[in-house]
Amino acid sequence: MLKSMVWFSLRLLRWGLSIVGLATLVLAAMLAAPLVRLPELTSVSQTARAVDRSTMPPLERVSARDGTYLAYRHYPARGAASEKIAILVHGSSGSSVAVHALADALAARGIETYAPDIRGHGGSGTRGDIVYTGQLEDDLSDFVGMIRKTSPAAPLTLIGHSSGGGFALRVAGSPIQDLFQRTVLLAPYLGYDAPSSRPDAGGWASPDIPRFLGLTVLRHFGILCCESLPTIAFAVPPNSSPILASTYSYRLMRNFGSSSDYRKDLAAATKPVTVIAGAADELMFPDKYRDAAGQGAPVSLIDGVNHMGIVSDPRALSAIADDVAKAGAGS
């Protein structure tokens, strides 16, 4: 009897070690999978280059809770001030530079506007990486704290473009949602499974699925050692790494966007959420935003405007500035 029990235990141990070994090999293969770089997506880069940035304000900096300096641009309200403040979040790879035209248009409508370089982008932190998932929400809370020192009661509108729109939705359904009176999503990327998302964002993004899955498995077991590895590449112009984040680490990819289920974000949002997109968006399926949003958010489409045009085309700038300026603080 004892001999049988010992034999059975050794057999179980052998099978267990075999499974662990196999899992280790599978994970190693996933982590070693190469990240595929994409050719430049000219519809994005050419639209961005066409913007006149001669009036763009210089970068300013604020210290986050971990001591890292976060960069931002401040656009004081011009003309008849609305007493509203907007925080405008750029899309994937970019920085505050990418949303200058819209920030300037909002300021011209009397809306004081702040355009931060989200950590991992532009002048904030390490390009393409963050320290932990959830750090971007902490940074945003710190940024709002800075604003509240001089404007303690002004209603705040959070505006996000593309992946920044997904992140804005994440915030709208999160524990810090009460920092904002309203959220506006501009051509938001809502996740790979959203009906509005084209495969690989229309050629803009190339995710390393095996590596992402491998790191997700490791995270499930509490192993976070490798989350600085890049898991997605963007179709940025050649030699643009000094100004753009050409890749994202696993933890930045997880954080800069909606949560794992954008529908839960929409359901958890207690303040108004609005979606505005260009009808000619080449990175998303704009006609599917109403299916994606359901009853959670009204959707407006602007004819003839593409993905980057939503933050630079005069038709879009006028419509968005008008929407933000006229919306009631609690509407």
pLDDT band at 289; cut points 50, 70, 90:
very high
Return the pLDDT at 14.
57
Percentage helix, strand, coil for the chain under 3-state DSSP, each rounded to 5? 40, 15, 45
Its pTM surpasses 0.85: yes
Domain 33-326 architecture: 3-Layer(aba) Sandwich (3.40)
- Minimum mean pLDDT range among 14-23, 135-144, 278-287: 14-23
pLDDT in tens, 89-121: 999 999 999 999 999 999 999 999 999 999 999
Q: Is the pLDDT of residue 22 over 70?
A: no
* For helices 209-220 and 2-32, angle between their N-to-C axes, nearest 10 degrees: 140
**How would you class 330 by CB atoms within 10 Å of its CB: exposed for 0-12, middle for 13-18, buried for 19 or more?**
exposed
pLDDT of residue 330: 42
β-bridge partners, 56: none
What pLDDT score was predicted for residue 4?
A: 52
Lowest-confidence segment of 32-36, 66-70, 143-147 by average pLDDT: 32-36
Q: How far apart are CA 9 and CA 268, in angstroms?
A: 49
More confident residue, 119 or 19: 119
Rounded mean pLDDT of 170-179?
Answer: 98
Q: How far is CA 257 from CA 38, 100, 279, 292, 301, in A?
A: 21, 21, 22, 15, 21
pLDDT at residue 34 in the model: 73
Report the alpha-carbon distance of residue 264 to residue 191 in Å, rounded.
12
Q: For residue 45, what pLDDT is reported?
A: 96
Distances (CA, A) of 166 to 34, 221, 251: 26, 27, 15
CA distance 146 to 292: 34
CA distances from 196 to 42, 151, 162, 193, 275 (A): 21, 36, 11, 8, 12
User: Does pLDDT of 25 surpass 80?
Assistant: no
* 198-229 pLDDT, tens digit each: 999 999 999 999 999 999 999 999 999 999 99
| C-alpha pair distances (Å), 175 with each of 15, 116, 134, 170, 218 | 44, 21, 12, 10, 26
Percent of the chain with pLDDT over 90: 83
Q: Average the pLDDT over 130-141 and give the result.
A: 98
Looking at residue 36, its pLDDT comes to: 82
Q: Identify the residue with better confidence: 13 or 154.
A: 154
- The residues that bridge with 124 in the sheet, in sequence order, are 121
Q: What is the pLDDT of residue 80?
A: 78
205-207: strand order across its sheet: 205-207, 230-234, 247-249
* Rounded Cα gap, residues 318 and 21, in angstroms: 59
Residue 35's pLDDT is what? 84
The pLDDT, as a whole number, for residue 327 is: 87
Q: What would the pLDDT profile of 301-310 be if each residue is shown by its tens digit?
A: 999 999 999 9
Q: What is the dihedral of CA 251, 253, 255, 256, to 10 degrees?
A: 140
The pLDDT of residue 79: 78
DSSP state, residue 244 = S
Q: Say what the pLDDT of residue 17 is.
A: 44
Rounded-to-integer distance, Cα 13 and Cα 226, Å: 28
- Neighbour order of strands in the sheet with 112-116: 60-63, 69-75, 112-116, 85-89, 156-161, 182-186, 273-278, 299-302
Average pLDDT of span 166-184: 98
Are the C-beta atoms of residues 258 and 63 closer than 8 Å to each other?
A: no
What is the predicted pLDDT for the residue at 27? Answer: 59
Cα separation, 35 vs 48, whole angstroms: 25
Alpha helices in the chain, H assignment, sequence order = 2-32, 42-49, 100-108, 135-148, 163-172, 200-203, 209-220, 250-255, 262-268, 289-293, 314-326
Radius of gyration for the chain, computed over Cα atoms and rounded to the nearest angstrom = 22
What pLDDT does residue 328 have?
Answer: 67
Q: Round to whole Å and give the CA distance between 52 and 72.
A: 19
